[in-house]
Amino acid sequence: MIEYTCDVAVIGAGPAGLAAASSAREAGAEKVWLIERDCEPGGILQQCIHPGFGLAYFDEELTGPEYAARFYDKAVDLGVQFSFDTTVLAIEKGNILRCLSPRGESLINAKSIVLAMGCRERTRGNLIIAGSRPAGVITAGAAQRMINIQNQMIGNKVLILGSGDIGMIMARRLRLEGVEVVGVVEILPYLSGLTRNKLQCLDDFDIPLLLSHTVTRVEGYPRVEAVYVAAVDEKNDPVLASEERIECDTLLLSVGLIPENELSRNAGIELDAVTGGPVVDSDLQTSVPGIFCCGNVLHVNDLVDHVSVESELAGENAALYALGKLPSDSKLIPVQAGHMVRYVCPSVIRQRSGKSTLYFRVTKPAKHVDLQISDGTKIVWMKSHLRVNPGEMEAVCIPTADLVGPEITINVLPQ
Amino acid sequence: MKKRIICTVCPQGCEITATFEGDKIVEFTGYGCPRGVEFARTEFTNPLRILSTSVKVEGGCYPLVSVRSDRGIPRSDLMDCMDIIRQVSVKVGTKRGSVVIEHILGSEANVITTADAK
């Protein structure tokens, strides 16, 4: 078996991995190796041909392939080494990647590692939908790949379950391609995805959005013939008296994303029960020293711009670790999710001069709130928001040098 | 009269209120930046959308390459533009940013590739 060495190994050449690898090179790591199982860079951005990327990072509106190309070109210019068609099978002894490619098996001994494997979609198996198992039940991302890359149409009359961003984007895409979209069904009383996607993807094309409803069963074999939809009560249980049969030949699922952490789990990395991603400190280092993490494998993001910024930090710190320059003696301050906050990432701040960015999501939509960070003794940061939404991640950047409390808490409070 | 417009320039999604008399705008409130005012003005008079889709590739490994309009197209013209875009194809080797259709439907907008045709 061939054995290689490198300073920083990055797993996954999507937006997170591309940004982390470039940043690691810029921070002084000599040999940065990016390993990707697909034959092309860009990850999910390859199939996200719609615009809306880069508004925060580049201050211009790009499509997914254009956004990815900028980061790929930069990584190539900086001398990042790429291995495509290569799957990481395991992380052994905390720093060795066991890889498989058409050229055979190999080991990469890395001084530090960045996990950037992204996430995957929840499928029908993750939900409980009664009925037969016909063709025509497909996740929104799979449909996006078939339509945008493989030139294959998925059906003629589509119902979408879940108001996540990919589902809404696909509603518009299907309509543009002449497919009938009968509606989007959302179990929650509010939208899961971004407001701008509801406007540009649903409202522009008169596609109805049915909140507080869900799919109760699927009918038809070997192909979907109809889907039953019912209103839900306060406990999100379907009210069967309201059940209605909707004729369609395809059910598209846009019901959430799961960070893809099999590698992390097998490497003994501690995972967070809420995000499904590794527990990290503000250096984005996991519970295994020398392994860093960023992007959707850490926590599912709604904006790639956030992913790029976060991943650059992970890449930089992975480089510093490889060079023996990342301080490890700083004081640790745990971060708690307080009132109306579902989770905060990172969950621990390493106190240094400088700032830390905390990403968090609220538990429910609200208008006119104060975002407040307290360190147990005083409020260290506060900002008013017109509105907050679980579908839209919040990011706050706070100076950490003056924090004194044993822990800090983020609260979202009504004004 | 007032009309509520949710700004989609960036993901902030500011709720902008346009106060108008007849077809004349009196004022905008609730915007977070100057781009929001510009968006609300266009949205009120003639909503524009970037159109993104794909075209066929001749002789490539992949059947399609992604394209978009290089500026906004009137929302009401999107389906007609799709009919035009569906008729064209590009040769393998066409680089990202190449113009596929000039001035689609007589507008200012060109349709450009957003990836290399491979």
Nearest-angstrom CA–CA distance, B17 and B110: 32
Q: Does the distance separating the beta carbons of B6 and A51 come in below 8 Å?
A: no
pLDDT score of A266: 97
B18 and B70, same domain (yes or no):
no
Structural domain that includes position A78: 1-121+257-328
B106 and B87, same domain (yes or no):
yes
Q: Establish if A65 touches chain B: CB-CB under 8 angstroms.
A: yes
Q: Does the distance separating the beta carbons of B96 and A392 come in below 8 Å?
A: no
Q: Does the distance separating the beta carbons of B49 and A49 come in below 8 Å?
A: no
pLDDT score of A392: 87
This complex has an ipTM of 0.90
pLDDT score of B24: 83
B40 and B65, same domain (yes or no):
no
Q: What is the CATH number of the domain that holds B64?
A: 3.10.530.10
B64 in a structural domain: yes
A151 and A268, same domain (yes or no):
no
Q: DSSP for A78-115, please give it.
A: TT-EEE-S-EEEEEETTTEEEEEETTEEEEEEEEEEEE
User: By C-alpha distance, which of A328, A336, A340 is closest to A406?
Assistant: A336
Domain count, chain A: 3
Read off the amino acid at residue A116. A
Per-residue pLDDT 10s for chain A (415 aa) are 899 999 999 999 999 999 999 999 999 999 999 999 999 999 999 999 999 999 889 998 899 999 999 999 999 999 999 999 999 999 999 999 999 999 999 999 999 999 999 999 999 888 878 888 899 999 999 999 999 999 999 999 999 999 999 999 999 999 999 999 999 999 999 999 888 889 899 999 999 999 999 999 999 999 999 999 999 999 999 999 999 999 999 999 999 999 999 999 999 999 999 999 999 999 999 999 999 999 999 999 989 999 999 999 999 999 999 999 999 888 899 999 999 999 999 999 998 878 999 999 999 999 899 999 998 888 989 999 888 889 889 999 999 888 887 899 999 999 8
A246 and A308, same domain (yes or no):
no
pLDDT score of A258: 95
A104 and A172, same domain (yes or no):
no
Domain boundary, last residue among A306, A328, A350: A328
Write out chain A residues lying below 8 Å of B10, CB-based: 55-56
Q: Does residue A194 contact residue A212 with C-beta atoms inside 8 Å?
A: no
φ/ψ (deg, to 5) at A232: -115, 155
pLDDT score of B30: 87
Q: Does the distance separating the beta carbons of A50 and B6 come in below 8 Å?
A: no
Tokens of A81: 């080494």
Work out whether strand B24-29 and strand B15-21 pair parallel, antiparallel, or are unpaired.
Answer: antiparallel
A249 and A131, same domain (yes or no):
yes
A351 and A281, same domain (yes or no):
no
A66 and A141, same domain (yes or no):
no
Q: Establish if A367 touches chain B: CB-CB under 8 angstroms.
A: no
A404 and A345, same domain (yes or no):
yes
Over residues B57-68, mean pLDDT: 96
Q: What is the CATH number of the domain that holds A396?
A: 2.60.40
pLDDT score of A132: 83
Q: Does the distance separating the beta carbons of A195 and B13 come in below 8 Å?
A: yes
Residue A56's alpha-carbon distances to A221, A286, A380, in angstroms, are: 46, 27, 26
Q: Which H or E run contains A348?
A: strand A348-350
What is the edge-to-edge ordering of all strands in the sheet holding A213-219? A130-131, A213-219, A226-231, A244-247
| DSSP-assigned letter for residue A402 | T
| DSSP-assigned letter for residue B110 | P
A67 and A30, same domain (yes or no):
yes
pLDDT score of B11: 62
B19 in a structural domain: yes
Q: What is the CATH number of the domain that holds A272?
A: 3.50.50.60
Structural domain that includes position B33: 2-45
Looking up tokens 């990202």 gives B96
Out of A49, A199, A392, whose CB is closest to B114?
A: A49
Whether the predicted pLDDT of B56 surpasses 70: yes
B70 and B102, same domain (yes or no):
yes
Domain count, chain B: 2
Q: Does residue B100 contact residue B88 with C-beta atoms inside 8 Å?
A: yes
